[in-house]
Structure 1
Amino acid sequence: MRIRKSGAARAVVVTLATGLVLAGCASERDSGKSGEAGDTFIFGAAGDPSSLDPALASDGETFRVTRQAFEALIEHEPGGSKLVGGLAKSWEASEDGTEWTFKLRDGVKFHDGEKLTAEAVCANYDYWFNWTGTYQNSGVSYYWQTIMGGFKKNEDKETPEANYVSCTAEDELTPVIKVKEATANLPGGFSLQALAIHSPKAIKAYAKEEATGEGDAISYPKYSQEAGTVAGTGPFKISKWSKGNKEVTLERFDDYWGKKAGVEKLVFRTIDTEDGRRQALQSGDIQGYDLVAPADVKTLEKDGFQVPTRDVFNIFYLGFNQEAEKLLRKKEVRQAVAHAIDRENLVKTQLPEGGVVATQFMPDTVAGFSDQVKTYDYDPEKAKDLLADAGEKSPTIEVCYPTEVTRPYMPAPADMFELMKADLEKIGVKVKPRAMKWNPDYIDSLQNGKCGMYLFGWTGDFNDGYNFIGTWFGGYDKQWGFKDKKVFDALKAASAEPDAEKRTELYKKANEVVMDFLPGVPISSSPPAIAFAKDVNPPKVSPLTQENFGEVSFK
């Protein structure tokens, strides 16, 4: 999942709208017969979480785990992208979109026994707003900066200006959050796992520890790397993180305010290869896994496994960083790379049925998609001519790609890299490969501008065009390393427009501006599949990949 915000006052319509497979795992269903809440459900994850504190994360593998233990003020309906009540049963915005009032659910308890109150909510927001030092690194506080801007006192000139103003408790169950300017990032931003609410007791413990380091050498605080301190309100509480065995264990929270979890224990086990996850499911060592290889879908279904496919809500792209690789400042070079990539072949060979070639940095399922963008069809000869025009007939470019991971938009990173590498070499580009472990090396390197060209993508956090193109191009971002007033102004205008229909038209225009500038090459969108054992009642699958495993039970 992944930067900026802005906008003038506007009216807001509120819508309530890796690879070790342990033997003998089937025996872990040891506290109840199959079908009872005492069972253990084991899910095969593609990568390790980076933190048990979602506020410090920006990746899907972390959020898959923390989402079971932490809840936000607003959530998405099960299986969809409509905003619905979370810890807040309702909410409303002031006419100018700068004041958000929430009505909290009564009787909600945190895992450590603390009570959910307006003051508890404000303790979270004020804690994040007052972060200093390494916490202000965009790789650590990515989503806070994306949604709320900077901090009470910014320590870096590149940190965005704070949009957050304050949080006050109007009464015990009514927190009011104020921002300086209305933004298209709200109310969707209130649904983010990174802004999920923690126990005030836990927040006090967090404040005693520090993240350290900078760039791609960050050390996360101890509390976020082991179970015992973090405390949310979700249907499960985190009880153990065995990093050596690549497992996170969660236990059912019996005081949960909503429907109790259908299993007593939930285990996320990292198995970093597609074959490993499939074999673990087939052997009964796990009962589910995500990001099923396209070639495995029909095989698993034929054997009786359940393999539901999500709706398309992601984008895969080849990113450019014009600060890390000066060669990419030449528009002809960027255009040459775009014409060199055979995206049709990549979709055909690497993605599941329903995958499509991308023409812009959002799928056509998001309002604001434009059919008027400049396109870059596969044309190696034209790519060679463009390189020649740029005076770069055989340049060398480093291309980064991740290992030990599979993403919804990127089923097989190494294979996809090899296809693009071959395409680039056909036009004379000498590719220097740089492979890195997904978490934390790859993510930190990208977010700190350490890769000239790289494979990456995005699954939307909420259904708004700004959550895609505004995420990257609403202002300067180290991941992209460019400053272009025309691009930034186009996104700023869209974010500030209060009328939904007019804002959609502005998103279309912004897409056209972005694709003319060409900060990277959008490659494809994919409908990722998720698999479950035959005896499992699975959760509703989410286009946002936000499954609630509290819905899981055994038949």
Structure 2
Amino acid sequence: MKKKLALVIAPLLAVTMLVGCGGNSSSQAGDKPAASAEAGTAADANIADTLVFAQGAEPRGLDPAFVDDGESSKVIVNVYEGLLAYAKDSTELEPCLAESWEVSEDGLSYTFKLRQGVKFHDGTDFNADAVKVNIDRQLPPLRQEDMPYASFVYADVKDVVVVDEYTVQINLTKKNTAFLANLAMSLAAPIASPTALEANGGNLNESPVGTGPYKFVEWNPSEDIILTRNDEYWREPAKTKNIVFKFIPDNSARIVALKSGEVDMIDGIDSTGVDQIKADGNELYNVSGMNINYMAYNTTRAPFDNVAVRTALSKAVNVPELVTALYGDYAELATTILPTFMPGYSADVKQVEYDPEAAKAELAAAGFNQPIKMIVYNNPRPYNARNKALAESIQSYWSKVGVEVTIEDYDWTTYKDKVVAGDYDVCFYGWIGDNGDPDNFLNLLCDQSPAMNVAKLNDEKLSAMIAEGTSTEKGEARNTIYTEAEKYIASLAVWLPISHANSLSAYSPAVQNYTYHPTGNIFFREMYKNK
């Protein structure tokens, strides 16, 4: 006996709106490919051919198995799709390349019925073999070290079995409550063309091929990425013919570009730019963010492997004052790694409190007397648009307790390499939640990927707590596990939680159907601009 979890779409009933799979709201999902765009949106003479979106950094790559950054993800979600998708404005799950699914009673086997008649952009048929190829390449022994999300999304996968051409079964080694949510994520989970993978040596970072509403055209380094509409898309084709992702590192320069009409949409906005955006007559998109912005100590380097030293240094930083000064009304003080609306959050979790006099005394008692090497990224991040100012603020706090700090700043791509190399005492990091589950926040802290676990922590007790939470059914018992994990994390003083940023972006009033997903992605299929 199996538990039926699929969303059933019954014919002859009222149309059910499915969203999130390559875009926003759509017509009823069915088996037949949609009609050509020639009969639809392209015929509307009032719609502009191109939308231009400006972001603060260039993607690290366009193969979902090999990247872990938001800049890459924003492009990826418009080119690729996964078995499942999220709803337009939430992380509620919906069918996508899988029409339905069943989970065995023991929670160890997931059987997916796949959508028929779907083709990749290169003409390859989407089927069960394609799913197996994409997951197998991210499992041992094929998994490569530079696949940062593979160990998170597929950690508990035992094997993938092709049942028939349009049925695939994924078997787990242990129960994973977040597994279905993981399969809708924009990293590791999207399905790439097996033909393209073979032709490109298993890496599509520079030549992405998916099933999504847009096809890759070209990447002009340091300038832009261009996509064009997939007129053979299995659903209604996109309303806008071309999408351009433009790279403008400077925050104020992006605002100017929006004002001049050079671009239609921007993100990476900080509080200092909000008034200008409104004065220019553009629209501000401002909602609570599903993210975390934090500082981490490198626990593999003495004396930062000493909890007493970490605690004393954190006591020297007035985090509430810092958050107010840097982010104003556009971020919330982080008292835990989890945002306040996430299951498992508790106001009972207490971080190290500001006490500079105690910091001085405790640093002296620990024999701390050395400069700190701090690294920071110089591109704005959605969870922290005041990146350099944050580093300098903490440098100032530490100077008041006699600690010298040297700051090295790097562009985002170089910064990621520096984080992996581990040559720092303190660094800054954060992310936007990928799937709306607390596992996606706390698991990443102790994941042994050097690209994610920037504190380099290897703590068996915390790992056991996270593993227990992952395999526990959703509910109060699971929430309690994550609350206790948060309390333990606070006691380690490895991470200094700083803020949960509001999700801020801006767009021209000529842009219609604009939305910015809670996961930090932007889906363009339903968006268009009036001429």
Task: Quickly name the TM-score band, shorter chain normalised.
Answer: 0.7 to 0.9
Identity %: 28
2:490 aligns with 515
Taking the aligned partners of 1:51 and 1:312, their CA distance within structure 2 comes to 25
Alignment partner of 1:482 is 2:469: no
SS of 1:121 mapped into structure 2:
helix
User: Contact 2:153–2:189 (CA<8 Å) still a contact in 1?
Assistant: no
Q: Distance in 1 between matches of 2:449 and 2:4?
A: 29
1:381 aligns with 2:357: yes
Counterpart amino acid of 1:270? F
Q: Take 2:449 and 2:365, find their aligned partners in 1: how far apart are those partners?
A: 28
Give CA-to-partner distance per residue, 1:129-157, whole Å, 9 cap, x none: 2565xx622xx2110012223xxxxxxxx
Q: Is the 8 A contact 1:328 1:334 kept in 2?
A: yes
> In the alignment, which residue of structure 1 is the partner of 2:144?
136
Aligned counterparts of 2:314 and 2:43: Cα–Cα separation in 1 = 56
Question: Whole-Å Cα distance in 2 between the matches of residues 474 and 368 of structure 1?
Answer: 19
What letter is aligned with 2:444? T
Matched, 1:168 2:168: no
The structure 2 residue matched to 1:238, chosen from 204, 216, 224, is 216
- Does 1:125 pair with 2:131? no
Q: Are 2:305 and 1:329 equivalent residues in the alignment?
A: yes
Matches within 5 A, 1:41-440: 41-129=51-139, 132=142, 136-137=144-145, 140-149=146-155, 163-193=156-186, 194-206=188-200, 208=201, 223-225=204-206, 227=207, 230-243=208-221, 245-323=222-300, 325-351=301-327, 353-392=329-368, 394-403=369-378, 405-439=379-413
- Cα deviation, 1:143-173, whole Å, max 9, x if unaligned, reads 0012223xxxxxxxxxxxxx32221222222
**Contact 1:313/1:525 (<8 A) preserved:** yes
What runs of 5+ residues in structure 1 fail to find an aligned partner? 1-10, 18-30, 150-162, 210-220
Amino acid at match of 2:197: I
Q: Distance in 1 between matches of 2:225 and 2:289?
A: 28
Cα shift readout 1:382-418 (whole Å, capped 9, x = no counterpart):
21122122121x4211111012x21111112111111
In structure 1, give the amino acid aligned to 2:66.
L
Quick check: 1:48–1:61 contact (8 Å CA) kept in 2? yes
Deviation at 1:238, TM superposition (A): 0.6
Shift of 1:13: 9.0
Q: 1 CA distance for matches of 2:356 and 2:45?
A: 57
CA contact (8 A) 2:296 2:429 kept: yes
Q: How far, CA to CA, are the matches of 2:314 and 2:427 in structure 1? A: 13
Q: Note if contact 1:188-1:462 (Cα within 8 Å) is conserved in structure 2.
A: yes
Long gaps (5+) in structure 2:
8-17, 19-40
Deviation at 1:354, TM superposition (A): 4.3
- Equivalent AA in structure 1 for residue 152 of structure 2: T
Q: Cα distance 1:12–1:315, how it changes in 2: closer, same or farther (>3 A)? A: farther
CA contact (8 A) 1:474 1:491 kept: no
Residue 27 of structure 2: aligned partner = none
| Residue pair 2:5, 2:100 contacting (<8 A) in 1 also | no
Tell me which residue corresponds to 1:495.
470
Letter in 1 for 2:253: G
1:186, distance to aligned residue in structure 2 (A)? 0.7
Q: CA RMSD in A?
A: 2.3
Shift in CA distance, 503/86, structure 1 to aligned 2, threshold 3 Å: same
Alignment partners' CA distance in 2, 1:446 and 1:343: 23
TM-score, normalised to structure 1's length?
A: 0.84
Checking the alignment, whether the CA contact within 8 Å between 1:312 and 1:365 is kept in structure 2 is no
Residue type of the partner of 1:329? D
Deviation at 1:124, TM superposition (A): 1.3
**TM-score under structure 2 length normalisation:** 0.88
Asked if the contact 1:37–1:261 (Cα under 8 Å) also holds between the matched residues in 2, the reply is no
> Amino acid of the residue matched to residue 133 of structure 2?
A
